[in-house]
């Protein structure tokens, strides 16, 4: 495929495809930067208000002590990050946080727990959290680890709108980052979530030490799922002292923007979330990401256990760019 003419090859009905080849996606990455952003912004403008950004808040409802060995994560018991383990929050604490988030302008409230998979009374408490947060008029999202079909059905009955379960990286690079859970395990959970009728939130992390071929492969996996995720978080690695990746070199900023742009082209109707790592991004880099098709952020000073721009900074950036909450 000619670099100058790499195109969507759209489904004639709706422009949504699930048959992307790695060669096609690689050709998009290879486009001249201006051509790629022009194409991505065109797709973005066709499907969304280009100046509207969804604002979500993410709360850690159970912190630390996770038995998984994800190399990037400070919550793993395998890494010495000095993170203090915390038990599952009370329902009233979560409801109060949701009310604060709504007052600050958030439309979606995400709850994250550092588990391999939820069990017993803890899971019952999470179901009550979902019911109560939904009653506050917010969309609900949760990330709780692996789920079975019975659990996803219970979450659907409780009113869960979205379930987040990232692929993290390519199938080829995955074993370099995680050994306690397989790629197939992640895909199985996504299947249970879809079959329960819950919207999928699924993306990955860039800057783990992977190459461009891995970013191509990861985006192919996401775009070729039976249904495109409703939300696609693209995270930039946050290097946390004590994790195996704390000295990993940062990804080149324009390569990150390219990843956002390609995600937008491949999944034209998904919300592409500019997720973790924004504290290390210049405003100009974030602006390029919004132009390239990112239209969702996490709002608030903390993402689970790591930093995030404060609300005043985001409000000021939105004002300067003429953006508004979706």
Known catalytic residue at 202: no
Can you tell me the distance from the alpha carbon of 111 to that of 115, in angstroms, rounded to the nearest whole number? 12
Residue from 73, 202, 220, 289 carrying the catalytic annotation? 73
Residue 143, strand partner residues = 112
Count Cα neighbours of 174 within 13 Å in the Cβ-side half-sphere. Answer: 20
Residue from 108, 125, 141, 220 carrying the catalytic annotation? 141
Known catalytic residue at 7: no
Can you tell me the distance from the alpha carbon of 266 to that of 293, in angstroms, rounded to the nearest whole number? 11
How distant, in Å, are the alpha carbons of 9, 237, 253, 258 from that of 291? 22, 21, 14, 11
| Positions of E strands within 38-172 | 52-62, 108-113, 139-143, 162-164
Known catalytic residue at 273: yes
Known catalytic residue at 289: no
Residue from 215, 258, 264, 273 carrying the catalytic annotation? 273
Residue from 7, 22, 45, 66 carrying the catalytic annotation? 66
Q: What is the 3-state secondary structure (H, E, C) of 157-178?
A: HHCCCEEECCCECCCCCHHHCC
Residue from 70, 202, 220, 289 carrying the catalytic annotation? 70
Report the run of H or E that residue 324 belongs to, with start and end: strand 324-325
Residue from 125, 181, 186, 201 carrying the catalytic annotation? 201
Known catalytic residue at 220: no
Provide DSSP, 222-256. HHTSSS--SEEEEEEPP--TTSTTTTPPPPPHHHH
Residue from 110, 202, 220, 289 carrying the catalytic annotation? 110
How distant, in Å, are the alpha carbons of 17, 106, 122, 131, 245 from that of 128? 37, 20, 10, 5, 36
Residues annotated catalytic, as ranges:
66, 70, 73, 110, 141, 201, 273
């Amino acid at each position: 495929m000619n670099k100058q003419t790499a195109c969507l090859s759209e489904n004639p009905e709706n422009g949504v495809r699930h048959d992307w080849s790695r060669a096609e996606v690689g050709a998009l990455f290879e486009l001249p930067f201006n051509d790629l952003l022009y194409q991505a912004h065109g797709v973005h403008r066709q499907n969304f208000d280009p100046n509207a950004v969804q604002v979500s808040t993410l709360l850690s409802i159970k912190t630390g002590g996770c038995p998984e060995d994800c190399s990037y994560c400070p919550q793993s018991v395998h890494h010495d990050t000095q993170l203090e383990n915390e038990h599952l929050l009370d329902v009233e604490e979560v409801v109060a946080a949701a009310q604060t988030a709504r007052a600050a302008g958030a439309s979606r409230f995400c709850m994250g727990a550092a588990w391999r998979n939820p069990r017993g009374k803890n899971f019952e408490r999470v179901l009550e959290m979902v019911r109560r947060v939904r009653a506050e008029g917010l969309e609900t999202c949760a990330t709780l680890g692996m789920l079975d079909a019975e659990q996803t059905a219970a979450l659907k009955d409780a009113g869960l709108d979205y379930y987040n379960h990232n692929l993290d990286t390519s199938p080829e690079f995955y074993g370099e980052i995680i050994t306690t859970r397989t790629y197939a395990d992640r895909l199985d959970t996504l299947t249970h979530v879809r079959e329960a009728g819950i919207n999928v939130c699924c993306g990955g992390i860039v800057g783990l030490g992977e190459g461009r071929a891995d970013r191509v492969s990861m985006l192919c996996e996401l775009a070729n799922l039976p249904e495109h995720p409703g939300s696609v978080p693209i995270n930039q690695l946050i290097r946390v002292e004590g994790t195996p990746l704390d000295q990993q070199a940062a990804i080149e900023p324009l390569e990150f923007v390219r990843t956002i742009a390609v995600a937008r082209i491949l999944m034209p109707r998904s919300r592409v979330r500019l997720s973790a790592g924004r504290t290390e991004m210049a405003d100009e880099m974030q602006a390029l990401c919004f132009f390239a098709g990112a239209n969702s952020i996490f709002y608030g000073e903390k993402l689970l256990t790591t930093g995030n721009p404060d609300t005043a900074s985001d409000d000021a950036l939105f004002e300067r760019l003429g953006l508004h909450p979706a």
